[in-house]
Amino acid sequence: MRAILTLNSGSSSLKLGLFSEGLETLALGHVDRIGRREAAMKLSGADGSPLPLPASAPDDFATNAAALHTALAAFQSAFPGLEVIAVGHRIVHGGIDHAAPERLSEPLMKELAKLAPFAPLHQPHNLAGVRAAVDTFPGTPQVACYDTAFHRGHPFVSDTFALPRRYYEKGVRRYGFHGLSYDFINGELTRTEPELHKGRVIVAHLGSGASMCAIENGQSVTSTMGFSALEGLPMGTRPGELDPGILLYMMDQEGMSASEISSLLYKESGLLGMSGISNDMRTLEGSDDPRAKEAIDYFCFRIKRQIGAMAAAMGGLDGIVFTGGIGENSARVRAQACDGLGFLGVGVDAAANAENAREIGAGEVRVLVIPTNEEIVIARAAKGVLDL
Ligand code: ADP
């Protein structure tokens, strides 16, 4: 059986997708906590039901490459005769120049490696995933899909910081991320809501990482994430928007090094830091600790604030789409983020919202819940680029 494999290789996780040549989902896989003893793999078939896991040895998830081999062995036993004809990769950063998916080559790998300082916690792991796939499938074409690509058409005011111009020239810009998710939602709107797609839509991708994107007539016009995946909304362990004076304070007064600040910003802040309980929204929603409520309140307030800002940026609003683990499942967050936005024509129907219905709006502005699917965007791109 010929199939397209998609890989999303992170620092301690690996997400895989297996698709037929006709782009039907065959299987999805997720390995968590790579390199730790508690590492675990979940595999599911086309209908979401779990696929049997092979008996695993202690080293099976020691590295991303080992995790890839373990997951592939499981796919191979589930799909005898499996032949991977293309591999598509999620690459967090395409820099200034890469605005569309493209076939990976050694020179391109070198160029993408140079962007690692822009995304030190993601880019090297993404590229390590490409290396592992090249070693595993020598000669099989590999395609890069960039999380920044969807936003490359931003107007200058959404692309820049008010720093001396030389930094802009060096690439210190507002890139925006989660582009594969926005691409998917945009495609769903084109297919199922052609009128709304022509209008002004805010998409809130709320998962462990969270961002929002204003999309006008199918084009990203501004996004909450900027130079790095730290900007904008608070997230599971990242703070979102911060006064840069705080970083100066931490360096000068607390004597923190760059790596200590990096750890604070990427791993200790956000919902986890504020609540002191968990980075996981489900856990916070289930807690009666007042700090959990405060963390959720802050998260929802920042979303609401951005809805107002993005509506202003687009000169009005026709729709809001919630997606990502929290956006798709948390009625509380959706209701609280939209609460009080009646002046914009935004309302939420409590019963539809409680059921995670697709259409939850109760005002002039459409409010939709659409599950995202970044893997299918990568698979489509691989098929398209390679003309399969
Ligand atoms: P990732 O960015 O890692 O792909 P996800 O999109 O899976 O993350 O989102 C993970 C987040 O979604 C977690 O905070 C989790 O608690 C939250 N989530 C998942 N299901 C629910 C639910 N039923 N209610 C509230 N939050 C949920």
pLDDT at 153: 95
Q: Is the CB of 361 under 6 A from ligand 1?
A: no
89 in Cβ contact with 9 (< 8 Å)? yes
Percent of the chain at pLDDT above 70? 99
Query: Domain for residue 313, yes or no?
Result: yes
Do 256 and 115 fall into the same domain?
no
Ligand 1 nearest-atom number relative to CA 285: 25
Query: Domain for residue 109, yes or no?
Result: yes
Query: Domain for residue 322, yes or no?
Result: yes
23 in Cβ contact with 36 (< 8 Å)? no
Do 249 and 136 fall into the same domain?
no
pLDDT at 43: 92
| Confidence band of 30 (pLDDT split at 50, 70, 90) | very high
Task: Choose the weakest-confidence range: 62-66, 155-159, 208-212, 363-367.
Answer: 62-66
Residue-wise pLDDT tens digits, 44-92: 999 989 988 877 776 788 888 899 998 888 898 889 999 999 999 999 9
Q: Nearest to residue 53, comparing CAs of 26, 36, 30, 37? A: 30
Give, in order, the Cα–Cα distances in Å from 119 to each of 93, 127, 237: 7, 12, 16
Do 98 and 208 fall into the same domain?
no
Q: How much is the average pLDDT of 195-210?
A: 97
Query: Domain for residue 379, yes or no?
Result: no
Six-digit token string for 183? 């691409």
Do 217 and 140 fall into the same domain?
no
Ligand 1 nearest-atom number relative to CA 284: 16
Do 241 and 316 fall into the same domain?
yes
Six-digit token string for 26? 């065959």
pLDDT at 133: 94
Laid out side by side, the sheet with 102-103 consists of 40-45, 25-32, 14-20, 2-9, 83-91, 142-146, 102-103
Count of structural domains within the chain: 2
Q: How many Cβ atoms from other residues are within 10 Å of residue 163's Cβ? A: 11
Residue 311, domain CATH: 3.30.420.40
- Distance, CA of 323 to CA of 146 (rounded, Å): 19
Binding residues for ATP: 15, 205-209, 280-282, 325-329
Do 236 and 302 fall into the same domain?
yes
Q: Nearest to residue 380, comparing CAs of 217, 130, 143? A: 143
| Confidence band of 40 (pLDDT split at 50, 70, 90) | confident
Cβ contacts of 283 within 8 Å, gap of 6 or more: 277, 292
| Ligand 1 centre distance from Cα of residue 115 (Å) | 29
Residue 343: half-sphere exposure toward Cβ, Cα within 13 Å: 6
Catalytic residue among 47, 97, 135, 147: 147
Q: Is the CB of 209 under 6 A from ligand 1?
A: yes
Task: Choose the weakest-confidence range: 75-89, 175-189, 208-222.
Answer: 75-89
Answer whether residue 260 shows pLDDT above 80: yes
Q: Nearest to residue 104, comparing CAs of 136, 140, 71? A: 140
Q: How far apart are the first and last CA of the chain?
A: 15
Do 211 and 135 fall into the same domain?
no
Six-digit token string for 182? 């926005």
40 in Cβ contact with 31 (< 8 Å)? yes
Asked if 288 is an active-site residue, the reply is: no
pTM of structure: 0.96
Do 120 and 235 fall into the same domain?
no
Domain that holds residue 238: 194-374
CA 213 from centroid of its chain's CA atoms: 12
Do 219 and 357 fall into the same domain?
yes
- Distance, CA of 115 to CA of 95 (rounded, Å): 7
Quote the DSSP letter at residue 165: H
| Confidence band of 104 (pLDDT split at 50, 70, 90) | very high
Binding residues for substrate: 90
Do 140 and 215 fall into the same domain?
no
pLDDT at 31: 92
Q: Tell me how far apart the 2 most distant CA atoms of the chain are, in Å.
A: 61
Amino acid (one-letter) located at 256: M
Do 119 and 212 fall into the same domain?
no
- Tokens 């502005």 belong to 365
| Ligand 1 centre distance from Cα of residue 272 (Å) | 14
| Ligand 1 centre distance from Cα of residue 208 (Å) | 6
From 122, 282, 299, 374, the mutation candidate for ligand 1 (largest count of ligand atoms within 8 A of CB) is: 282
